Amino acid sequence: MTTTKRNVVLTGFMGTGKTAVGRVLADLLGRPFCDLDAVIEEAAGCPVAEIFAAEGEDGFRRREREAAAAVGARRGLVVATGGGTLIDPANREALSAGGDLVLLTTAAPELADRLGDGAGQRPLLAGHDDLRARIAELLAERASVYAGCDHEFDTTALDADEAAALLAARLATPLTEIDIPVPGAAGLPVLAARELTGSRVVTGRGTVCRLGAELRDRGVTGRVVLVMPEVVRDHYLPRLVASLDAAELSWGLLGIRDGDQEKTFAQVEDLVDALAGLSADRGTCVVAVGGGVTGDLVGFSAAVYMRGAALAMVPTTLLAQVDAHIGGKTGVNGRRVKNLAGCFHPPILVVADPCMLATLPDRELAGGMAEVVKSALIGDPALFDQLEAALVDPAENRDGDPRRDPELLETCVAACAAVKGGVVSRDPWELGERRLLNLGHTLGHALEAQSAYGLSHGEAVSIGTVAALQVAVARGAAEADLLDRTRRLLQACGLPTTPPEYDAADLLSRLHLDKKRRDGRQFFVLPLAAGDVVVVDDVDDDEALAALAREQACASS
C-alpha cells in the first residue's frame, strides 16, 4: 500500500540525538527510518569524513542536496538529517514539502560532553582545542537556520528511548477517535458502582505513547494499575511507564497468566486479592494490557472489585484491537462453555496501537484477521474489497507478509473499531443489533470449547463464518460467490475454513448451552452480502451440522 503520511524530519545540531532518537521513534510510529548521512554515504561509497577530505564541504553539501531532494519526495518516513542540512534553503524546502520539521535541542554543556570523545571524527569540530567555544560558535551561526521548525523538543536530560517515547506521544495522530455512549443501565446486567461515562476508542500508530495523556483527558487523576502477561511486560512496559510518568500519574504493576485455559474464576480471585494488596480503591484505574483473555479477565475483575473500578484497555493483539477490547463485554469460562459467566463493564478508554502488533506470532495475527473479515462482512464492504486486493489478488503481491503491512493493519484496526463502535453505541447491552457481531461465533465457540482451546478463537470464528455462509447459500439467501470469496480471503489470511474432527452429539450439547440462546431458540448470524447480515432463530441442529459437512465435502473434493 502507498502511504500519504507526511515524514517526521528530525533536525538539530550534532549530538542532539537525531539518529538514536529517530531509530526508536520510527519503531514506535511503525515507520521506516532514514538517516540522511547514511543515504549520502551509500551514494558516495565512503564515510562522510572521507567525502569532506576528498571534496571539501562544498562537495558534501552538493551530495546532501541531492539526498534531501530524493528523501523529501518519499512519504511515511522518520528522517534524521545532518546538523547543517537546513543551512541550504533548498534542503529545507525539499524536506518540509512532504514532512514536518522537528528540532531537537540540547544544552551546550551536555553537547560538549556527548561530542567530546568523537570530536576528532567530526569535520566541523576536528582541530579545535576549545570544544565548547566551537560548539557555541556553530550554534550561534545556525540559530536562524533552526528557527521556524514545526516542533521543538529538548533532549538534554533524556536518553534515546525516553526522548522517543515522549516525542511519539506528541506526534502520534490518532487515525480514529470514537466515543461510545453508555445509556442508563437500570435493570440491565451491568455492574456499575462508578458513573457510566462511556468509552473512547483511540487508534493509530504510536498512540500507546499517549496513554497517560488520554487517561488524564478521561478524568483519571488517581493511581493506575497496569495488568499484563509477562511477555507483554517484556515488550512494552517501558513505553507505558514513560507515558504515565509524563502525565504525572502514579502506577502499580500486576501480572496475569495468559491463555484461554487460564480464564477462570480462580484467576479472578487472584487478581482481586492482588488489587487489594496494592491498596487499590474506587479512584484507581485498572489498565488491561494484552490480548482478549487479558481483557476479559481484567475487565471482569475490575467490574467486581469494590463493585466497579474504572477500566482502560491497551490491546496488544489484532483480535483484541479489532474486537475483543471494544464494547465492554467481559467473560470467564465455565467448565464446558466459553464465556459462560460475565458482565458488561465498559472501559473508559481503549488505546489500540497497530505498532504493538509487530511482535505477534503468525498464528495470532491470522486469528485476528478472522475478526477483521467478520467486521467487513457485517458493516464495511469497502474493507472487504481492500482485503481481497491486498491478500488474495496476485497482482498486489509484494515482498514480505502482506498481512503485516503497517498501512493495512492501521486501516483494519480503525475500520473495525468504527464498525463495532457504531453497533455498540446503538445497542450496548446486546438486546438487538449487537447480536450481528456474533457472526461465526455460534458454531465457532462450540468448536473452540470442544477442542479444549486447541483451536484458537480466530480459527474457530473462521470456520463458523464459513458455516454460516453455507447455511445462507443453502437457503438461497446469499450468492455462492460470496461464500467462495470469503473462503479464499480467510484462507489467504492463514485461517482454516473446515472443522477438525468433532463429536456431533457433544458439539450440539455445547451449542445448546451457548449464551446467545433464548427460550430454546438458537440465534445464528447469516451474511447476505458484504455489509448486509441478518440474525435468524430457526437454524436447527441438523441444518447446522449439515453446513459443517458441506464445507468438509468442499475441502475434500
pTM for this prediction:
0.88
Neighbour-count burial of 94, counting CB atoms closer than 10 A to its CB (0-12 exposed, 13-18 middle, 19+ buried): buried
C-alpha 552/C-alpha 3 separation (Å) is 40
C-alpha 102/C-alpha 62 separation (Å) is 23
Once rounded to an integer, what is the mean pLDDT over residues 523-552? 95
Average model confidence (pLDDT) across the chain: 91
- Asked whether the predicted pLDDT for residue 457 surpasses 60, the reply is yes
Q: Which of 119-133, 161-175, 202-216, 424-438 has the lowest mean pLDDT?
A: 119-133
- Asked whether the predicted pLDDT for residue 394 surpasses 90, the reply is no
Q: Which three cell numbers stand for residue 302?
A: 475490575
Q: Which of 146-155, 161-170, 175-184, 256-265 has the lowest mean pLDDT?
A: 175-184
Residues in the chain: 557
Q: Which pLDDT tens digit goes with each residue over 40-88?
A: 999 999 998 899 899 998 999 999 999 999 999 999 999 999 999 999 9
Whether the CB-CB separation of 19 and 114 falls below 8 Å is answered with no
Greatest C-alpha distance within the chain: 89
Q: What is the predicted pLDDT for the residue at 197?
A: 63
Once rounded to an integer, what is the mean pLDDT over residues 119-124? 72
Give the dihedral sign, CA 414/415/420/425: positive
C-alpha 253/C-alpha 298 separation (Å) is 13
Whether the CB-CB separation of 506 and 450 falls below 8 Å is answered with yes
Reference 142, options 10, 11, 18; nearest CA is 11
Q: What is the predicted pLDDT for the residue at 398?
A: 62
| DSSP letter (8 states) at residue 522 | P
For residue 261, the number of C-alpha atoms closer than 13 Å in the C-beta half-sphere is: 6
C-alpha 200/C-alpha 349 separation (Å) is 5
Beta-sheet pairing, 151-154 with 99-105: parallel
Residue type, 105: T
C-alpha 533/C-alpha 551 separation (Å) is 20
- Asked whether the predicted pLDDT for residue 105 surpasses 90, the reply is yes
Q: How many other C-beta atoms are found inside a 10 Å radius of the C-beta of residue 540?
A: 10
User: Please, where are the H alpha helices in 190-328?
Assistant: 211-217, 230-246, 265-277, 292-304, 318-319
Whether the CB-CB separation of 9 and 71 falls below 8 Å is answered with no
Reference 322, options 400, 434, 437, 232; nearest CA is 437
Whether the CB-CB separation of 190 and 343 falls below 8 Å is answered with yes
Neighbour-count burial of 501, counting CB atoms closer than 10 A to its CB (0-12 exposed, 13-18 middle, 19+ buried): exposed
C-alpha 303/C-alpha 506 separation (Å) is 33
Domain 176-360 adopts which CATH fold? Rossmann fold (3.40.50)
Domain 433-556 adopts which CATH fold? Dehydroquinate synthase-like, alpha domain (1.20.1090)
C-alpha 358/C-alpha 404 separation (Å) is 8
Report CA-CA distances (Å) from 447 to 122, 258, 262, 292, 506.
65, 20, 18, 18, 10
Once rounded to an integer, what is the mean pLDDT over residues 374-390? 97
Domain boundaries, the chain: 7-169, 176-360, 433-556
Neighbour-count burial of 541, counting CB atoms closer than 10 A to its CB (0-12 exposed, 13-18 middle, 19+ buried): middle
Whether the CB-CB separation of 411 and 383 falls below 8 Å is answered with yes
- Asked whether the predicted pLDDT for residue 190 surpasses 50, the reply is no
C-alpha 440/C-alpha 525 separation (Å) is 7
Q: Looking at domain 7-169, which CATH architecture does it have?
A: 3-Layer(aba) Sandwich (3.40)
For residue 207, the number of C-alpha atoms closer than 13 Å in the C-beta half-sphere is: 27
Domains 7-169 and 176-360 share a fold: yes
Q: What is the predicted pLDDT for the residue at 192?
A: 40
Beta strands (DSSP E) in 19-95 are 33-35, 78-80
The three-class DSSP label of residue 259 is coil
Q: What percent of the chain has pLDDT over 70?
A: 94
The three-class DSSP label of residue 325 is coil
Q: Which three cell numbers stand for residue 428?
A: 450496548
pLDDT-derived band of residue 188, with 50, 70 and 90 as boundaries? very low
Residues 6+ apart with CB under 8 A from 208: 28, 236, 239, 240, 243, 314, 351, 353, 355, 356
Residues 6+ apart with CB under 8 A from 55: 62, 63
Once rounded to an integer, what is the mean pLDDT over residues 386-392? 95
pLDDT-derived band of residue 235, with 50, 70 and 90 as boundaries? very high
Once rounded to an integer, what is the mean pLDDT over residues 516-543? 87
Calculate Rg over the CA atoms of the chain.
Answer: 27
